[in-house]
Amino acid sequence: MDHPPYRLAQELELLLGDPEDPGGVFSHARCLELDESEEFPADICRALEEWGLQEFYIPVEHGGRLTDYETVMQVMRVVARRDLTVAIGHGKTYLGGVCVWVCGDTGQARRLAADIRAGVPVSLALTERAHGSDLLAGDVLGEPDGSGGWRLTGEKWLINNATRGSVLSVLTRTAADGGPRGFTVLLVDKRTLTAGDDYRCLDKIRTHGIRGADISGIAFDDAPVAADAAVGPEGGGVETVLKALQLTRTMCASLSLGAADHALRIALDFAERRELYGRRLVDLPQARHALACAAADALAGEALATVAARSVHTATDELSVTAAVTKYLVPSGTEAVIGELTRLLGARAFLKDVHARGMFQKVDRDHRIVGLFDGNTLVNLNSLVNQFRSLVRGWQRRTGDTAGARAAFELSGPLPRLDPGRLSLVARRGSGIMATLPESVEALRAEAAGRPELKGALGAAERLLAVTDMVHRTMEEYRTVVSDVPPAAFEAARRYSLCLAGAACLGLWAHNHRAGSAGRTAGLWQDGVWLWPVLDRLLVRLGEPGGGEPDAYPRLLEQLRAAGAAGELFSLLPLRLATAGRDGRPYEHTDTGTPHGTPGHPRGRHAE
């Protein structure tokens, strides 16, 4: 099944060239060199900007190429698969601008779009040294200047691109006593201020992973900020940020998907080549199981992220749930993938210059931060706990935007343009994705009636449906919790997330398995080859006794190995890699006719 977001991602992948070629601008060798020197990957970012990556940070209505978030996710997945430092360092500009896309006025959007298109780095300044993710405790103060503007004072810390960025969206206390209506997002342009007098940049923080990223801070000292810098209404800053984070948390999945892709490919190559006890590692049962489990977890993340990215458009008012689940589950799932593969690689998971240039240890280090920014695990699970009342009621009544969920599942369907006005802090009618679970199980049951090869997947789906009902009964016990959330409520939210991921996987398979059973990834879609092990892994993570079925995995492992041998990305939909397959033959670039140029050259030149 050919799918446009993957087709565009493949264009970028092939234009970037083989990452194993040390002479390439975006090679693994270059990324490791920059990591060792803790240097920002400026040359790589320039090459990506010549291709036009920054245009995907600008909504199409403001002159950019952001038409849908599924496409952005797959494009950023390509970048993250090569190097998370680049993806995080460059992608931060979207995070810096998103508040304007959500609540800004036309003039702000036009000016910001022009800056981003020109390659100006933009940053989001939320956190402070003393308060972390507690946004309501922020001390950076904007005091009225007597002419409608503000004088800005205080320090933001651990900010990506705080030093390199020229424009910052700063969450600012604009009411002395703070509170939910006491903060405003101010779009601060450092180019209009005097360095040393109005502001000073804080030193870059040395980090364990993403060593080259500009993780630093900024201190303002009575800096003048004009009245037209307010993004949205004065006092609406916290709500603006929380709505914007629903979009960025969903897009963070691209970082984890790329990291899982890279780690899985490194480990598979090692298992195919390594010999122990007179046999290749890939032929040993324990190694085969580890690879297959990691592969299933990676596909579970891809399926959930795909549905979540599409639901940005089709079920926007439920994104408070979908984004929280995605931001919690996809990074933690990739951490599990990396952990499983670390045990397979052994010492080579930690060593440099031994296997795959030592890239595995860099992927491991770099990815650990993904689960922390834009809301860590506890923040996202707490967001779900706060919505238990509506989620339980929605499950009991089978309400929620089920039409929007089905549109998110159906990959051949067009996506409507995002209406930011539909973003909501609470999914009042529950989750449409979850509400479709019974109908997806029934659809699988109907398919399995005449196809015994689907019986395993059906059994797992039926067990998932049963445990989902139990999870909602547990959630009902905590539906009135507001503060002092007990550990059991967090555990219920964790289990809810796994059930929603299962519902997303089942919905995606039910709506696309016929179309998916053609093309280069047909082997995954036929006979539920990817669905059964993915559901089984979710049951294992739920602690259900029916999980861990060994018969679910052998055919998935075959597909993983076949993709590696053919130079294809192991994914639900086709994407050819620039890296050669194990037969040693590189894959040639085929012009797709899109108006982009080769990185390092003016846009459009390759099409002339």
Assess whether pLDDT exceeds 90 at residue 481: no
Indicate the DSSP class of residue 387. Answer: T
Res 160: pLDDT: 95
- pLDDT tens column, 81-104: 999 999 999 999 999 999 999 999
Under 8 Å CB-to-CB from 54, ≥6 apart: which residues?
48, 90, 93, 116, 117, 119
Q: Hey, where are the domains in the chain?
A: 4-119, 123-236, 240-567
Assess whether pLDDT exceeds 50 at residue 603: no
Mean per-residue pLDDT, 303-329: 98
Instruction: Look up residue 29 and give its two tokens.
Output: 């060798």
Mean per-residue pLDDT, 173-193: 97
> How far is C-alpha 324 from the geometric centre of its chain's CA atoms?
11
Predicted confidence band of residue 312 (pLDDT cuts 50, 70, 90): very high
Percent over 90 (pLDDT), the chain? 89
* Spatial distance between the Cα atoms of 356 and 272, rounded to a whole number of angstroms: 13
Res 330: pLDDT: 98
Mean per-residue pLDDT, 484-488: 94
Mean per-residue pLDDT, 542-559: 94
* Spatial distance between the Cα atoms of 243 and 223, rounded to a whole number of angstroms: 27
CATH class of the domain at 240-567? mainly alpha
Q: What is 123-236's CATH superfamily?
A: Butyryl-CoA Dehydrogenase, subunit A, domain 2 (2.40.110.10)
Predicted confidence band of residue 582 (pLDDT cuts 50, 70, 90): low
* Under 8 Å between Cβ of 108 and 101: no
Assess whether pLDDT exceeds 70 at residue 588: no
Assess whether pLDDT exceeds 70 at residue 177: yes
Instruction: Look up residue 52 and give its two tokens.
Output: 């036009």
Mean per-residue pLDDT, 523-550: 96
Res 352: pLDDT: 84
56 φ/ψ sector (left φ>0, alpha ψ -120 to 50, else beta): alpha
Res 581: pLDDT: 57
* Under 8 Å between Cβ of 268 and 577: no
* Spatial distance between the Cα atoms of 325 and 386, rounded to a whole number of angstroms: 13
Mean per-residue pLDDT, 190-216: 97
Res 373: pLDDT: 82
Res 277: pLDDT: 80
Percent over 70 (pLDDT), the chain? 95
Res 444: pLDDT: 98
Res 132: pLDDT: 84
Q: What is 4-119's CATH superfamily?
A: Acyl-CoA dehydrogenase/oxidase, N-terminal domain (1.10.540.10)
* Spatial distance between the Cα atoms of 342 and 363, rounded to a whole number of angstroms: 11
Assess whether pLDDT exceeds 50 at residue 590: no
Assess whether pLDDT exceeds 60 at residue 606: no
* Spatial distance between the Cα atoms of 127 and 216, rounded to a whole number of angstroms: 11
Q: How many CA atoms lie within 13 A of 449 on its CB side?
A: 6
Assess whether pLDDT exceeds 80 at residue 575: yes
* Spatial distance between the Cα atoms of 297 and 335, rounded to a whole number of angstroms: 10
> How far is C-alpha 262 from the geometric centre of its chain's CA atoms?
15
Assess whether pLDDT exceeds 80 at residue 374: no
- pLDDT tens column, 283-296: 999 999 999 999 99
Instruction: Specify the pairing of strand 167-173 against strand 183-189.
Output: antiparallel
Predicted confidence band of residue 547 (pLDDT cuts 50, 70, 90): confident
- pLDDT tens column, 503-524: 999 999 999 999 999 999 999 9
> How far is C-alpha 273 from the geometric centre of its chain's CA atoms?
31
Assess whether pLDDT exceeds 60 at residue 38: yes
Mean per-residue pLDDT, 527-543: 98
Instruction: Look up residue 188 and give its two tokens.
Output: 């601060």
Predicted confidence band of residue 375 (pLDDT cuts 50, 70, 90): confident
Residue burial 460-482, b: 16+ Cβ < 10 Å; e: rest: bbebbbebbeebbebbbebeebe
Res 353: pLDDT: 79
Helix 487-516 with 285-314: angle, nearest 10 deg: 90
